[in-house]
């Protein structure tokens, strides 16, 4: 078995060997650099296709593979070229720096130098799309496509292993590019970087396409993001760069939900932006508008929707929402001669109906809403209150909206419809009863109808692939998708989820996803996977049995979704996680999970912890983050599912799990904190170190400056605790609940420049109290020991 140092050295040698093919001074034929790079990369993936075992013939396999390759983007997202070496001294030298070897580009690419002699070597202006290394998929990409088209079972570790190898090579090349001593060398490294970047992008997209197709046939929550790359290349463009192309009408907070989704690992949103702009271009944002006349009000300054919190967004916090302000297509609205008026509930009908109540299509008349029990022939309606359809049955429901849902229910073969506005009263007792029935209402409904005003502007008559792509583009960033309540409703009703479009036409979400996955650009696959928790599942014989949602998945899905009423968040969290009853406090939620297992990586978040409750002080008080203050600059870490991290057990005493730990001991109350000692775990042999140590010898390389920085961080904790520990989740060995051997840390799945650690304190090393997260940005890591700890 090779050590990590040996593996890194071998990868660096591979990169330097590849560099020779693009280095003008190496003696290699620069005109054949793409073929040589392709052959060099091909050695990393060896295939032996056994077509005789396939139902498809070779011609059909090749045709399907070519069709799939044709759906890859023509080139990957552009990387910025930067060289920080010596600046040009004069105009002629600067012009020379702007020219690149002509062999790097395809023929007939953009600008060439006027001097014929110069054009033979440094005769091309730089143009990303014309780079030869981006002109076609590499051989390994073609091999992967053939393998996936044949629908062979993946060898364990093959997909993620190859993509992670590409990511590691890309990171090494990025580092070597930064060390370039000349402009010529930097450009050669950049071409190699572009080649590996394209290979990584194509590999991930193909894996995601295959995963999405598999999920459409048999969605399981434990497979959610199963093969998403666990290593994000360091060259990935930051949020600020990607944001520049975002259409103006698109809500920043909604886009941040999409951008941070693990399924969007490639961060290629170009086709998505193009589709969205085509349908909603020219519109101004509605995220931060103030009522007329308030612009100059100093006491009420204009809020800026920066995508960092829902509290900054008008779509979440609006004081101008008009109850029942929405009307059906073609309805003139209220007026003396208008047929539209308010329907109010028949309270006696409501109270006399047992169980969950739905609106009766037959018994409701022109003045009163009457009720019937929810059945398997009920249509459930999921909508956003701020779009004007909210209200209560006592205050009234627009008759035009009632007529719309009656018509749609009958069209879809339903005899009643459920919607919170006419079915959930203000009375607290009745409301609590209704909330406890929501899961069952949507699970048992014949159809769930998704109603969002952006999607309702898309015309699907006639039904085309372009219209379906527009529906998907609108869905992933629409108001309906970023709300906590509608998330719950959509997940519970996903067996038969339909979307309401222009002129009251409806379409099945399953049809939209299947058509996009089968025909559209592969960069749109990430959008399909971003809503995979709504993927309709086949109804088994004997009734619906929805796959249970884990604590981790419920937390991850809600990490960027909020409720208008913050007090509803714990309740929604519990309901998403499958609670059979209404839970109104996070303490109650966690106490109900005693005996369950939880991925340690799921705990890495900036969510506040439950205060003053021994045994659950480690537990998040909410799945999402608290809204930041206007001046908050502190970095925040949303929760992810922690898949592939070692799980721990929730017990009555606390959370018991194995971690990678470094324990610092206070020497004395009168001594400065930087004089801490590092606890040395007892070890009996070298095998103990092999099985338990990560980054051996790292603690011995900590210098005085680093000690002082660590001391400043933990000094306040030493006022309360004798011991302070830094913890990293352990990477889980696939197919087991144990750690890989030798131990490796599980990387935080969000954005971070270094390892994100949990800082805990103790006075006896038996019980540890959660303190905060810390992103370790120092170059030197200490030595970590795999050990079991109890967090209280």
pLDDT surpassing 90 at residue 51: no
Residue 486 is predicted with a pLDDT of: 94
Assign 591 to helix, strand or coil.
helix
Lowest-confidence pick of 127-136, 315-324, 738-747: 315-324
Task: Please state, in angstroms and rounded to a whole number, the distance separating the CA atoms of residues 333 and 345.
Answer: 20
pLDDT bracket for residue 630 (50, 70, 90): very low
Assign 253 to helix, strand or coil.
helix
Phi-psi region of 479 (alpha: psi -120 to 50; beta: other; left: phi over 0): alpha
Give 370's DSSP letter. Answer: -
354-369: pLDDT as tens digits: 999 999 999 999 999 9
pLDDT surpassing 70 at residue 160: no
Residue 582 is predicted with a pLDDT of: 85
Residue 292 is predicted with a pLDDT of: 47
Task: Please state, in angstroms and rounded to a whole number, the distance separating the CA atoms of residues 503 and 501.
Answer: 6
250-296: pLDDT as tens digits: 988 899 899 988 889 999 999 999 999 999 988 877 675 554 455 44
514-518 contact pairs (CB < 8 A, 24+): 514/216, 515/465, 515/468, 516/465, 516/468, 516/469, 516/472, 517/209, 517/212, 517/213, 517/216
450-468: pLDDT as tens digits: 999 999 999 999 999 999 9
675, 638 contact by CB (below 8 A): no
Q: Which of 617, 561, 543 lies closest to 771, judged by CA?
A: 617
Per residue in 523-532, is it b (16+ CB within 10 Å) or e — as a string? Answer: bbbbbbbbbb
Mean pLDDT over each residue of the chain, to the nearest integer: 87
Look up the pTM and report it: 0.88
Assign 662 to helix, strand or coil.
strand
Lowest-confidence pick of 95-99, 442-446, 562-566, 664-668: 95-99
How far from 527 is each of 263, 367, 683, CA to CA, in Å? 8, 43, 49
How far from 21 is each of 133, 137, 178, CA to CA, in Å? 12, 18, 19
pLDDT bracket for residue 309 (50, 70, 90): low
């Amino acid at each position: 078995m090779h050590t990590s140092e040996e593996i890194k050295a071998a990868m660096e040698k591979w990169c330097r060997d590849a560099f020779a093919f693009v280095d003008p001074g190496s003696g290699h034929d620069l005109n054949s650099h793409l073929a040589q790079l392709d052959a060099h990369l091909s050695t990393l993936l060896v295939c032996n296709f056994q077509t005789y075992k396939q139902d498809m013939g070779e011609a059909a396999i090749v045709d399907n593979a070519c069709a799939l390759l044709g759906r890859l983007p023509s080139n990957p997202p552009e990387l910025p070229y930067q060289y920080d070496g010596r600046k040009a001294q004069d105009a002629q030298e600067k012009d020379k720096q702007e020219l690149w070897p002509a062999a790097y580009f395809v023929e007939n690419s953009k600008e060439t130098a006027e001097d014929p002699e110069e054009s033979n070597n440094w005769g091309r202006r730089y143009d990303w799309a014309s780079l030869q290394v981006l002109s076609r998929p590499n051989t390994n990409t073609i091999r992967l496509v053939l393998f996936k088209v044949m629908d062979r079972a993946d060898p364990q570790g093959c997909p993620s292993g190859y993509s992670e190898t590409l990511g590691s090579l890309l990171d090494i090349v990025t580092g070597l590019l930064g060390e370039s001593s000349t402009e010529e060398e930097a450009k050669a490294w950049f071409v190699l970087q572009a080649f590996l970047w394209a290979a990584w992008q194509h590999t991930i997209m193909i894996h995601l396409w295959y995963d999405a197709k598999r999920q459409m046939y048999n969605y399981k929550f434990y497979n959610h993001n199963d093969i998403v790359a666990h290593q994000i290349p360091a060259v990935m463009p930051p949020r600020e760069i990607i944001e520049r192309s975002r259409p103006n009408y698109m809500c920043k907070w909604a886009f941040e939900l999409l951008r941070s989704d693990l399924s969007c690992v490639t961060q290629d949103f170009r086709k998505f932006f193009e589709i969205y702009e085509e349908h909603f271009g020219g519109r101004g944002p509605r995220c931060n508008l103030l009522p007329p006349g308030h612009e100059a009000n100093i006491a009420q300054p204009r809020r800026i929707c920066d995508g960092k919190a829902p509290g900054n967004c008008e779509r979440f916090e609006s004081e101008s929402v008009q109850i029942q302000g929405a009307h059906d297509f073609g309805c003139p609205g209220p007026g003396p001669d208008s047929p539209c008026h308010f329907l109010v509930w028949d309270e006696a009908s409501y109270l006399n109906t047992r169980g969950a109540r739905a609106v009766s299509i037959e018994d409701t008349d022109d003045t009163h809403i009457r009720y019937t029990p929810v059945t398997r022939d009920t249509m459930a309606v999921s909508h956003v209150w701020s779009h004007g359809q909210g209200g209560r049955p006592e205050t009234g429901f627009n008759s035009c909206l009632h007529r719309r849902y009656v018509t749609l229910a009958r069209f879809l073969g339903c005899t009643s419809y459920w919607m919170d506005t006419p079915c959930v009263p203000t009375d607290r007792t009745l409301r609590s009863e209704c909330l406890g029935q929501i899961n069952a209402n949507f699970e048992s409904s014949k159809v769930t109808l998704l109603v969002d005003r952006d999607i309702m502007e898309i015309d699907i008559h006639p039904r085309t692939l372009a219209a379906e792509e527009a529906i998907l583009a609108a869905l992933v960033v629409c108001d309906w998708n970023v709300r906590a309540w509608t998330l719950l409703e959509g997940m519970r009703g996903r067996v038969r989820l339909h979307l309401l479009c222009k002129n009251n036409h409806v379409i099945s979400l399953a049809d939209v996803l299947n058509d996009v996955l089968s025909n559209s650009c592969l960069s749109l696959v990430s959008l399909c996977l971003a809503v995979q928790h709504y993927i309709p599942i086949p109804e088994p014989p004997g009734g619906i049995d929805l796959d249970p949602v884990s604590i981790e998945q419920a937390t991850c899905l809600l990490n960027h979704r909020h409720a208008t009423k913050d007090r509803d968040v714990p309740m929604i969290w519990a309901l998403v996680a499958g609670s059979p009853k209404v839970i109104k406090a996070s303490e109650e939620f966690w106490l109900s999970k005693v005996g369950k297992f939880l991925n340690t990586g799921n705990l890495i978040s900036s969510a506040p912890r439950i205060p003053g409750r021994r045994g659950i002080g480690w537990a998040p008080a909410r799945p999402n983050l608290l809204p930041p203050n206007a001046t908050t600059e502190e970095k925040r870490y949303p929760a992810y599912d922690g898949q592939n991290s070692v799980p721990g057990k929730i017990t009555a005493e606390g959370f018991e799990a194995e971690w990678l730990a470094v324990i610092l001991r206070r020497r004395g109350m009168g001594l400065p904190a930087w004089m801490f000692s590092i606890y040395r775990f007892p070890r009996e042999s070298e095998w103990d170190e092999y099985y338990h140590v990560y980054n051996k010898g790292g603690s011995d390389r900590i210098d005085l400056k680093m000690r002082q920085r660590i001391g400043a961080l933990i000094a306040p904790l030493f006022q309360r605790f004798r011991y302070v520990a830094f913890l990293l989740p352990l990477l889980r060995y696939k197919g087991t609940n144990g750690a890989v051997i030798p131990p490796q840390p599980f990387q935080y799945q969000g954005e971070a420049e270094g390892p994100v650690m949990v800082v805990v304190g103790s006075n006896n090393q038996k019980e540890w109290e959660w303190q905060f997260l810390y992103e370790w940005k120092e170059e030197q890591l200490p030595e970590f020991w795999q050990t079991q700890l109890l967090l209280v």
